[in-house]
């Protein structure tokens, strides 16, 4: 188990966002968290990343408790989050944004090499490399956000709704990339609204509702679970016409 979350409770002031949530991620896996708006998915990721601290419960990363570790120390363990809503550094250029992604590394030539890899994957970003990140279109920003996350050479990648606001063709591409990253050895925790896609590429999944894990299991099983179909797949079974 590379990442283990045990019984965490998280509060925003008086509001409890997570109630006794437990889940885990094994080395090399893709695990997805699905759930409605406000179910607490982003809260989970932020707790893992150290942005939020749970009121109780434990987060362990390879046998090491990281419950109250600061975000920068968690990043140094190569656990990287690509946050919801892209969060591009608006007035930094695309290039600088990518450099920021590699903040924990200091080898300039390595950084350069990885930026080239990113540009290979997303030619669109190469075209825009000197444009301020804030003026990119929504989809371009999403590509940049994922690329920026990859710059740190993550061991675990936490993706928060990477397909949001993307053109269908790009969604495909993004999921391809996620798959590929995973094949190259990165474990992935994927938060998605697009439950169908997420469950299609994931090994396992957890369903979150109002801050609680209500369902968990193999992705395929979840895809066939009537409740999941009804609530998160738009009432349509897998394989039906889109």
Partner 1 sequence: MHALSLPTLAVKGARFKKVAHVFDLLRPILGAIVLAFIAYRLYQVLIVQQEYGADTWTRLLISGLIIGGVYALIAIGYTLVYGILFMINFAHGEVMMLGAYAGLFAFQAFNAIQVGGQAQTSFLNAYPVLAILLAFVIGMFISAAIGYFLEKIAYRPLRKAPRLVPLISAIGASIFLQNAAQLLFSPQLREVTNPDILRRGAGWTISINNANVIIPYTGVFTFVLSVLLLIALYIIVRKTRLGRSMRAVALDKKTAALMGVDVDRTISQTFIISGALAGAAGVMWGLHNGMVYFYVGFIPGIKAFTAAVLGGIGNLPGAMLGGLVLGIVESVGPAALGIDFQLKDVLAFVILIIVLTFRPSGLLGEVLAEEKV
Partner 2 sequence: MIDYIIRAKEVTKTFGGLTAVNAVDLDVAEGSIYSIIGPNGAGKTTLFNCISGFYTPEQGDILFKGKSLKGSSTDVIASRGLSRTYQNIRLFSNLTALENVMVGQQSRLRENWLDAIVHSPTFRREERNSIVEGMKWLDFVGLLEFSNAIAGSLPYGAQRRLEIARALGNRPSLLLLDEPTAGMNPQETLRMTALIRKLRDAFNITIILIEHDMHVVMDISDRITVLDFGEKIAEGKPGEIQTNQKVIEAYLGSGGAALAQKYQRKKPQ
Ligand X SMILES: Nc1ncnc2c1ncn2[C@@H]1O[C@H](COP(=O)(O)OP(=O)(O)OP(=O)(O)O)[C@@H](O)[C@H]1O
Q: Do the Cβ atoms of 163 and 194 come closer than 8 Å?
A: yes
Question: x-or-dash pattern for partner 2, window 64-93, by CB under 8 A?
Answer: ---------------------x--------
Between CA 27 and CA 143, with CA 176 as vertex, the angle to 5 degrees is 100
Q: Do the Cβ atoms of 69 and 62 come closer than 8 Å?
A: no
**79-82, strands of its sheet edge to edge:** 79-82, 156-160, 187-192, 30-35, 204-209, 212-218
Find the binder of partner 1 among 28, 38, 134, 234 (CB under 8 A). 134
Q: How far apart are CA 167 and CA 157, in angstroms?
A: 22
Q: How far apart are CA 190 and CA 162, in angstroms?
A: 8
Told to check if 240 binds ligand X by CB under 6 A, we report no
Question: x-or-dash pattern for ligand X, window 80-119, by CB under 6 A?
Answer: ----x-----------------------------------
Cβ proximity to Mg ion: between 41 and 114 the closer is: 41
Q: How far apart are CA 40 and CA 48, in angstroms?
A: 13
Those residues whose C-beta lies under 8 Å from the C-beta of residue 195, and which sit 6 or more positions away, are 32, 34, 228, 232, 233
Told to check if 138 binds ligand X by CB under 6 A, we report yes
Q: How far apart are CA 193 and CA 191, in angstroms?
A: 7
Q: How far apart are CA 148 and CA 51, in angstroms?
A: 18
Told to check if 107 binds partner 2 by CB under 8 A, we report no
Those residues whose C-beta lies under 8 Å from the C-beta of residue 66, and which sit 6 or more positions away, are 50, 59, 60, 73, 74, 77
Find the binder of partner 1 among 1, 7, 65, 76 (CB under 8 A). 76
Told to check if 138 binds Mg ion by CB under 5 A, we report yes
- Which residues within the stretch 133-152 sit at the binding site for partner 2 (CB under 8 A)? 135-140, 142-143
40 binds, among partner 2, partner 1, ligand X, none (CB under 5 to 8 A by kind): ligand X
Find the binder of partner 1 among 42, 47, 49, 142 (CB under 8 A). 49
Told to check if 130 binds ligand X by CB under 6 A, we report no
Told to check if 42 binds Mg ion by CB under 5 A, we report yes
Binding site for partner 2 (CB under 8 A): 34, 36-38, 85, 124, 131, 135-140, 142-143, 161, 164-173, 175-176, 179, 193, 195-197, 200-201, 220, 231-235, 238-242
Binding site for partner 1 (CB under 8 A): 49-51, 70-72, 75-76, 80-81, 83, 87, 89-92, 96, 99-101, 103-104, 106, 134-135, 148, 152
């Amino acid at each position: 188990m590379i990442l283990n979350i045990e019984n965490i409770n998280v509060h925003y002031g008086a509001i409890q966002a997570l109630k006794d949530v437990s889940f885990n991620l094994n080395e090399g896996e893709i695990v997805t968290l699905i759930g409605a708006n406000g179910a607490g998915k982003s809260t989970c990721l932020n707790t893992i990343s150290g942005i939020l601290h749970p009121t109780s419960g434990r987060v362990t990363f390879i046998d090491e408790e990281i419950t109250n570790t600061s975000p920068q120390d968690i990043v140094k363990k190569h656990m990287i989050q690509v946050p919801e809503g892209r969060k591009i550094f608006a007035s930094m250029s695309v290039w600088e944004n990518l450099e920021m992604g590699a903040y924990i590394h200091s080898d300039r030539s390595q950084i350069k090499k990885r930026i080239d890899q990113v540009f290979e994957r997303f030619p669109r970003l190469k075209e825009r490399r000197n444009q301020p990140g804030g003026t990119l279109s929504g989809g371009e920003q999403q590509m940049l956000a994922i690329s920026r996350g990859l710059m740190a050479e993550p061991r675990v990648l936490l993706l928060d709704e990477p397909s949001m606001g993307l053109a269908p063709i790009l969604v495909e591409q993004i999921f391809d990339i996620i798959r590929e990253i995973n094949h190259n050895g990165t474990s992935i925790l994927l938060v998605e609204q697009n439950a169908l896609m997420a469950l299609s590429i994931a090994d396992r999944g957890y369903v979150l509702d109002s801050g609680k894990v209500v369902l968990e299991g193999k992705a395929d099983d979840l895809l066939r679970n009537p409740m999941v179909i009804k609530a998160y797949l738009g009432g349509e079974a897998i394989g039906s016409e889109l």
